[in-house]
Structure 1
Amino acid sequence: MSFRFVKQLPTPDEVKEQVPVSEALKKVKEKRDREIQAVFTGESDKFLVIIGPCSADNEDSVCEYTNRLAAIQEKVAERLILVPRIYTNKPRTTGEGYKGMLHQPDPEAKPDMLAGILAIRHMHLRSLAETGLTSADEMLYPDNWHYLSDLLSYVAIGARSVENQEHRLMVSGLDIPVGMKNPTSGDFSVMLNSVIAGQGSHDFISRGWEVATEGNPLTHTILRGAVSKHGNTIPNYHYEDLQRLLDMYGQKNLANPAVIIDANHSNSGKQFKQQIRIVKEVLHSRLVSREIQNLVKGVMVESYLVEGNQKIGPNHIYGKSITDPCLGWEDTEKLIYTIAELC
Structure 2
Amino acid sequence: MANVDIRIRQVEPLATPRQVVSLLPVDEKTAESIRRSRQTVNDIIQGRDQRLLAIIGPCSLHDPDAALEYAQKLKKLASEIEDEMFVVMRTYFEKPRTVGGWKGLILDPKMDGSYDIGGGILAARSLLLDIVKLGLPVGCEVLDPIIPQYIDELMSWSSIGARTTESQIHRNLASGLSVAVGFKNSTSGDLNNAINAIKSALQPASFIGMDGEGASAIFRTTGNDCCHLILRGGDQSPNYYEDDVENARLFMQKEGVNPAIIIDCSHANSRKHYERQKRVLRSLIDQVSWGEKAIRGFMLESNLEQGCQKIPEDLSTLKYGVSVTDACIGWDETERIVHHACDLLRKARREGGVIQPL
TM-score bucket (shorter structure): over 0.9
Aligned twin of 1:213 = 221
Contact 2:38–2:156 (CA under 8 A) maintained in structure 1 = yes
Aligned twin of 1:8 = 13
Superposed, 1:1-343 pairs within 5 Å as 1-94=6-99, 96-108=100-112, 110-129=114-133, 131-207=134-210, 208-227=216-235, 233-254=236-257, 256-288=258-290, 290=291, 292=292, 294-313=293-312, 314=314, 315-343=317-345
Look up the SS of the partner of 1:217 in the other structure.
coil
Cα distance in 2, alignment partners of residues 5 and 341 from structure 1: 56
Which range moves more in the overlay, 65-74 or 108-117? 108-117
Task: Read off the aligned partner of 1:226 and give its amino acid letter.
Answer: G
Deviation (angstroms), 1:109: 5.6
Cα distance in 1, alignment partners of residues 237 and 9 from structure 2: 41
Encode CA deviations 1:174-200: one digit per residue, 9 max, x unaligned.
121100000112111111000001111
Deviation (angstroms), 1:105: 1.5
Aligned-CA RMSD value: 1.2
Number of residues of Structure 1 aligned to a counterpart in Structure 2: 332
Which range moves more in the overlay, 107-116 or 65-74? 107-116
Cα distance in 2, alignment partners of residues 103 and 316 from structure 1: 19
Task: Read off the aligned partner of 2:114 and give its amino acid letter.
Answer: K
Cα distance in 1, alignment partners of residues 135 and 112 from structure 2: 31
Deviation (angstroms), 1:7: 1.0
Cα distance in 2, alignment partners of residues 102 and 62 from structure 1: 14
Deviation (angstroms), 1:4: 2.8
Q: From the CA coordinates, give the structure whose radius of gyration is larger.
A: 2
Give me the TM-score of the superposition, normalised by structure 1. 0.94
Task: Read off the aligned partner of 2:295 and give its amino acid letter.
Answer: V
Deviation (angstroms), 1:48: 1.1
Contact 2:110–2:116 (CA under 8 A) maintained in structure 1 = no
Unmatched segments (≥5 aa) in structure 2 = 1-5, 211-215, 346-358
* Percent identity over paired residues: 34
Cα distance in 1, alignment partners of residues 219 and 107 from structure 2: 27
